[in-house]
Each structure stands twice: as structure tokens, then as C-alpha cells.
Structure 1
Amino acid sequence: MLRTLGRRTLATGLTLATLLAGSLVATAPAAPARAATPAPEAAVPATIPLTITNNSGRADRVFLYNLGTQLSTGRQGWADANGTFHPWPPGGNPPTPAPDAAIPGPAAGQSTTIQVPRFSGRIYFSYGRKLDFRLTTGGLVQPAVQNPADPNRDILFNWSEYTLNDDGLWLNSTQVDMFSAPYTVGLQRADGTSVSAGKLRPGGYRGFFDALRGQPGGWAGLIQTRPDGTVLRALSPLYGVGTGALPATVMDDYIDRVWQKYTTSTLTVTPFADRPGIRYSGRVVGGVLRFTDTSGAVVTSFEKPDASSVFGCHRRLDAPNDQVRGPISRTLCAGFNRTTLLVNSQQPDTGSAAFYRDPVVTNHYARVVHAQMADGKAYAFAFDDVGHHESLVHDGAPRQARLSLEPLD
């Protein structure tokens, strides 16, 4: 996990899309940065309480899952309500059913408290039905509802991500893969104060889908419904492009204009807010965006990306966990998704006033997600933490955490 801006790759396994139809492997969701100054290990217990409160108003049964990687051993598995770790048994090919890791969730208006261990993982919740998890020889097969054959396709569910380690707890709400059943996250800090993230504006859930339906250019194709007409979710534009729900050329005009601009001008990237002396200069030469350091040496280069590279922050915008290409790529990814690269040649653009305002094209999914958040913060794409616009809570010595299931209105 990166100590600056970053995206964690969850070691919880493959997706059903990978196995059932050869479609996209789910992009690792956005994840928090680690604390710059580690807290004393004694301040962080082996488990902390997480209280899940059901404010959804729905009568459906709720099922909870705590899945991830045990940080002390690197083993994949699940935790029960007491925080006890259970490693996954060997899987098969074809995939075999995973052990039932479901924890009964709270009824409407009620709360359930579980213990979360030192994990890097996800808290899933589903309404009405248990989720279908499988095990293959490569590990856990997670839901991948961009695939119409995924057995979880017609289940209303969502997840939060967390890491609990010696440096404390990071807990986020994420829309990197999809926008679905709403929830907020929060924690109580060591000093007794509380902080929360991920809360929608009043009417924000329906407002998101209404806005997406009204956006020309194929964006309404991201919305998935059940056969009875129930709205389940909107896929991220990465999966929209991968499945054909969104045109693969949707970002081409903007990408072309960016490439043209920096053929004759310089793009400056200063990726570390605390190290302003580290900066890189980019120019498009021979169709390739080349970055040099302050000495003039070429440090990395990027081929012209496509929509998938932009929305997924991968492929031609791959971001390795290093100190040069990764930070530059993360900055580019944020600039492309927020369409700020033409209006600001000094990146990252940390203010949000110019985000998603290109008159021709932008990431409208991310635009609408942020617009419907009460504080404007979200994880609408993988590196939405560039400039600290993410929905994240953290403390080095948390007392307890919370997750609230919110109304679908």
C-alpha cells in the first residue's frame, strides 16, 4: 500500500467475470494512504468494534461479510462476527462454493456490532439474499456484476473497504466499481471525536440515477436493473466500456486535445504535496508523452491512452508502486477523469472548481457521484484521492468504527 497517493490491490481473489465469460477482472478499488507518522503499535488492538446500523428503511434481511487478507500471515480468508480469522480452503476448477461466511445483519432500525481484525479487505452487505462466493485455484472469486452470468447480478449489495494495521484504521466508501446501495462510514478517534464519510445529499441516490439517465452519449447504459424493474446499480465507466454499455470512443476527443496541447506546451507534474522540489515536465514527442526530471533526464513515458486506460487508471496509464512513474500516472489519471489537463498545465489540480467542466466530454459518472455527496467527496475512480477528494476516514488509534446502511431515496 502506498504511503502517498495510492490504490490498494485487494488480495481477496478473482472475479466471476474472469471465469465465466472472460470479461474484465475487477479493478482494485480506491484505497487510502498510510499515515506519515506511525502510531504506537500498542494503541491499535488486535480487533476493533464495527457497528452496522440499518437506516435503509428496507424490510429485506441483511447479510454481512468480512473478507480479506490477514496482514500478519498474508493468508486470504474471512472473519466471523467475533473477528476470528478463517482461511479459505483450497478451491477448484471449475470454482467450488466457498464456506458460508455470512454474518446476520441488523433489521431495519437496528444495529449489529462485529469485531474487525487486522485485515486489508472488504465489508460486504447484501439485501434479501446471500452473496455467492466461489473458490478457484487462484483464490476467492468475488462478485463481478458487469458480467450478466454472474450469480450475484440480481442481488442488491455493496461493500466498504478497510485496512487495520499498526498505523491505525482506514475505512472508506467506494464507487470505483459501481454506484449501488448507499452507506456511510465513520469512526471514533482516540480523543473521542467522531468523523464520517460517504453520506449522500437528501435525494442523492435517486438524483444520481436521474442525472445519469439524462446524460447523452450512452451514460444511461451503465444502469443495471432487475427483471422486475428494481434499480440495482450503475457500473463504473471502466466496466461500461468493457461490456459495450458505454462507447469505447467516449473519451477520444478529450484525449486527442490533450495530446495536441502538450505537443507544443509543457505539462508539469508535482506529485508530492510535501515535496514540491520533485517535479516532472511532460511533452508529447513522436506521439509519446515523455517526462523529464529537473536535470532533463527522461524518467518515464506514456503512449496515448484510450478510455479504458483513463477510467481504469491502468494499461497505458499503469501506476506501479514506485516513486516516479506511479505518482506521475496517478496524477495523469486524475487529470484525465476530471478533465482538467487542458485548463491547468500544473498538475495535480487540487481544487475542485474546474473538475468535470470540459464542454465536450468528461467522466460524467464521477461528476454525478461527487455532485450527490453531501461533502462532495467520493471514490468515483481509482485515484480520486489525488488532491484529497476521496471519501475516507482514518485514525491512528481508533476506539470503534461504524457503517450505516442508508435509504435508497
Structure 2
Amino acid sequence: MISRRTFLGASAAAVTFPWWGTNLASAATPDTVQVAFDDQSGAGESYAYITGTTLDNRLVILQSDGTPYYPADPGGEMTPLDRDCAIPLKSMAQVSVPKMSSGRIYFVLDAKLDFFVNPGPALVQPDFLSSGDPNYGRNWSFVEFTFNNDELFANISYVDFVAIPIGLHLSTSGSGDQTVQGLPARSLDGICDELGQQGGAWGELVEAGADGKPLRVVSAQHRADKFAGYLDDYIGQVWDTYATAKLTVDSQNPDIGKLTGQVGADGNLTFDNGESFAKPVTADVWSCDSGPFVIKEGDSDARKAIIPRLAAALNRTTLLDNPNQPTDEDPAKFYQAEATNHYARVVHSKLPDNRGYAFPYDDVTPGPDFSGAVQAGDPDTLTVTVSALR
């Protein structure tokens, strides 16, 4: 099951099969993969931090010289790292990365990040939501990746926020190169301006620094309280429509096939295999992981396939007009409703190749690849381009 959630260890898999799912080499991956840095940020100083969990479940962080460091279990919470793990992009163009899962490559401009370890040991990630976090006022972003015995999977994610523009290029030993361009340089301010012009709570997604300039724009799921009831009318129209009409969801899995559903007298959208869904609220749509969209242990593969497709169609506000999901989806019709995920709309409008996760199930597709992922079983070098923030 190839998806961002599968590889990053989150609670649910999209059970989606994008085009790059067929490009995997059959041989085992090499012991290490090269990660190269193309620093086009224009910053006086720029640093990378590479973190993850080894395949035998140990916390690992690369040190400033590129060598692995395995923090010991600390004596208390919020214990600072006792090694310098800031890789200087001006003098370190490439590092060798061992296998790890749920990995991140952080980038920060004109500063360093503060990392802490809790008992476990467990890494305390920088917090982009709490102004009390020492990293909150710094310009930073990250790339997600997993590198295991089968493949390297890396993606540009805007699921949480947009900040420093980042692009990916993966070269391989034989299966071909892959590129995700990411947002162009100096995109952040334009995105903030457009969301501000949208009105309502959309402008409140912008987080500014002490100088008043935007640090980042967070996704709507992190301001869900500002959007209470926002999609109620649209969701109500969808539920009313499928009380009399049939909805077909293609699982895109040959073992499951297509499923047909209708809203019954109980108010639930129930499919012919028995899977049933209560009407979601706006926060459920934004997160894709609450209310009826929670995937629990023991849920059927069919339910795991239906949830991403319902959540994607509601984020893109296409579910009302397209009863064949995602088969008849037309990207030109995404985000066209007055009340829609304008964060995802604006982000995608800036992406030159339209590729990047703007919500968790942005890899649901009738064919074209909307995800910001590169993936191969024979990886050689992952090059990360860091562009100018402004």
C-alpha cells in the first residue's frame, strides 16, 4: 500500500497506487543513500538536521560532520542534545545517510534549531504552533523520508505548513531520475497575501515573526476552531444529494473493486459492503483523521480505501458534482466551490508541476500524480534544493 502515511508511520494508508508505485527496482536497497544539498536560499547561514528511527528502533541524528549519533535515554524531559547536529550547507554539500524510518530533513536559515530529547529516548520536534517553543520564531521547514530495505520514499509536505521553498531530485542506479519541483523561490509572501484577500479566517493561518514578516502559513487543520461550521452547507448538500442518488467509490485496488453507497434514513452514508459513515464536520475534512475518517486497528481494507477518497473529494469540493470518485475527477474543477480548502487551492496554484501534499490524502488521484513524492528501490542520491524565502 503505497502512500505518505504508510511510509511515515501514521495511522492510515491511502491505499492509492500512483504512477511511481511501478518504478521500484526489485533488488535490496544499498546500505546508505547520499543526500546532497543545493543551497539557493541566499541566507548568510543555512543548516540541515537529519533525524529518524533506525530499522531496529533506535533514535538517530546525524552530527554536523555527517556521522550518526544515537542519543542515550536522558535523565529527564526536554534534555538538550549534547552534540552539534547542525550540518552547515555552505561547507557540507553531501552526507551519507543510513537506513531509517519516519525521517525528517530539517532546514533553517540564519540560525540553528534547538532539539531536545525526552525519556525513551524520544526526539522533541520543533513546534511551529507554540510561540513558547525556542524554534517558533526561526525560518525553518522540513522534508519527510523513509529509507528501508525495500526503497527510499521522500516527499515535500505542506500538510502542516508552508515556509522555506524546497525541491527534490532523486537519482537512481538504473530506474531513472525523479523530480518534484516544489514551490518556487519567494512563494510564501504571495500565498499569505492571497489567503488574506480570501477573507474570513484564512488570513489567520499566517504566523509572523517579531519583525512582522510571515514565518510560515499553517494549514487550516491547525486552526480548526476558526472554521467551525465552515463546510456545513456543502456537506449538507452532499448528504442530501446521496440520499436519492448513488455514490460510487473506486478503491483502486483490484481485490476490493468499486463500492456503491447511499445515505440512509439513519443519516449515514452506507456502502454495499456494509461500511457506514456519519456526516463529517469541517474539522474532520481538514484533518482527514477525525470523526468518521478515523482509521482504527482492525478496520477493513475497504474502509481504509473509502476514507481517503471521501476526504479528498470533500477537501477539493468535488463530491457534490462527481458521483464516481475518484474516477471522473477533473483537476480543473478542484477547489471551485465558494467554501473550499483555500489553503490547498492557493498552494497548488503556486506549484509549477502541481505536486505537493496540501492535505493528508492529496495522493488520491484518477491518474495524474498530485503528491510531492519521489520513490525508488535503487536510490543513489537525493538532492534537496533549498530556495530563497524572500
Question: What TM-score, normalized by structure 2, do the two folds share?
Answer: 0.88
Residue number in structure 1 paired with 2:295: 319
Given candidates 253, 260, 266, the residue that maps to 1:281 is 260
Q: Secondary structure at the match of 2:242?
A: helix
| Residues 6 and 391 (structure 1), Cα distance of their counterparts in 2 relative to 1, 3 Å cut | closer
Q: Does the 8 A contact of 1:29 with 1:174 survive in 2?
A: no
Residue number in structure 2 paired with 1:357: 336
Deviation per CA, 1:320-370: give whole Å up to 9, x if none: 585121111011111111111011011115431211011x30000000110
Residue number in structure 2 paired with 1:167: 150
CA distance in 2, matches of 1:97, 1:29: 34
Residue number in structure 1 paired with 2:42: 57
Deviation per CA, 1:220-240: give whole Å up to 9, x if none: 100011111121000111001
| Residues 58 and 237 (structure 1), Cα distance of their counterparts in 2 relative to 1, 3 Å cut | same
State the 1:82 CA deviation.
6.7
1:331 and 2:301 are equivalent in the alignment: no
CA distance in 1, matches of 2:46, 2:181: 20
CA distance in 2, matches of 1:219, 1:267: 31
1:131 and 2:113 are equivalent in the alignment: yes
| Residues 28 and 238 (structure 1), Cα distance of their counterparts in 2 relative to 1, 3 Å cut | farther
Residue number in structure 2 paired with 1:308: 283
Deviation per CA, 1:243-271: give whole Å up to 9, x if none: x4x32222222222222222221211112
CA distance in 2, matches of 1:118, 1:173: 19
| Aligned residue identity for 1:336 | L
Q: Does the 8 A contact of 2:32 with 2:99 survive in 1?
A: yes
Given candidates 25, 31, 43, the residue that maps to 1:39 is 25
Given candidates 73, 91, 100, the residue that maps to 1:119 is 100
Q: Does the 8 A contact of 1:334 with 1:383 survive in 2?
A: yes
CA distance in 2, matches of 1:64, 1:371: 28
Q: Which has the higher contact order (CA 8 A, sep 6+)?
A: 2
1:385 and 2:363 are equivalent in the alignment: yes
CA distance in 2, matches of 1:31, 1:275: 11
| Residues 166 and 65 (structure 1), Cα distance of their counterparts in 2 relative to 1, 3 Å cut | same
Residue number in structure 2 paired with 1:23: none
Residue number in structure 2 paired with 1:292: 272
Gaps of 5+ in 1: 12-25
CA distance in 2, matches of 1:312, 1:399: 34
Within-5 A mapping of 1:148-159: 148-159=131-142
| Aligned residue identity for 2:359 | F
| Residues 303 and 132 (structure 1), Cα distance of their counterparts in 2 relative to 1, 3 Å cut | farther
| Residues 225 and 240 (structure 1), Cα distance of their counterparts in 2 relative to 1, 3 Å cut | same
Given candidates 5, 8, 21, the residue that maps to 1:7 is 5
Q: Does the 8 A contact of 1:29 with 1:176 survive in 2?
A: no
State the 1:130 CA deviation.
2.0
| Aligned residue identity for 1:88 | P
Identical aligned pairs, as a percentage? 33
State the 1:111 CA deviation.
6.1
Given candidates 30, 50, 64, the residue that maps to 1:66 is 50
Deviation per CA, 1:358-404: give whole Å up to 9, x if none: 1x300000001100001111110001111131111122212211001
1:247 and 2:247 are equivalent in the alignment: no
Residue number in structure 2 paired with 1:261: 241
| Residues 132 and 376 (structure 1), Cα distance of their counterparts in 2 relative to 1, 3 Å cut | same
| Aligned residue identity for 2:191 | F
Residue number in structure 2 paired with 1:398: 379
Deviation per CA, 1:42-62: give whole Å up to 9, x if none: 4x2111111111101122x22
State the 1:122 CA deviation.
0.6
Question: What TM-score, normalized by structure 1, do the two folds share?
Answer: 0.84
Residue number in structure 2 paired with 1:15: none
Q: Does the 8 A contact of 1:338 with 1:355 survive in 2?
A: yes
| Aligned residue identity for 1:313 | C
Residue number in structure 2 paired with 1:86: 69
| Residues 132 and 91 (structure 1), Cα distance of their counterparts in 2 relative to 1, 3 Å cut | same
State the 1:279 CA deviation.
1.4
Deviation per CA, 1:292-314: give whole Å up to 9, x if none: 23xxxx1x222221222111111
CA distance in 1, matches of 2:335, 2:125: 31
Q: Does the 8 A contact of 1:49 with 1:116 survive in 2?
A: yes
Number of aligned positions between the proteins: 378
Q: Does the 8 A contact of 1:70 with 1:85 survive in 2?
A: no
Q: Secondary structure at the match of 1:275?
A: coil
Q: Does the 8 A contact of 2:64 with 2:88 survive in 1?
A: no
CA distance in 1, matches of 2:119, 2:13: 23
CA distance in 1, matches of 2:238, 2:362: 20
Residue number in structure 2 paired with 1:232: 215
Gaps of 5+ in 2: none
Q: Does the 8 A contact of 1:92 with 1:135 survive in 2?
A: no
CA distance in 2, matches of 1:29, 1:64: 29
Q: Secondary structure at the match of 1:7?
A: helix
The 10-residue stretch of structure 1 (81-90 or 183-192) with the greater mean CA deviation from structure 2: 81-90
Q: Secondary structure at the match of 1:159?
A: strand
| Aligned residue identity for 1:280 | L
| Aligned residue identity for 2:318 | T
| Aligned residue identity for 2:32 | T
State the 1:213 CA deviation.
1.5
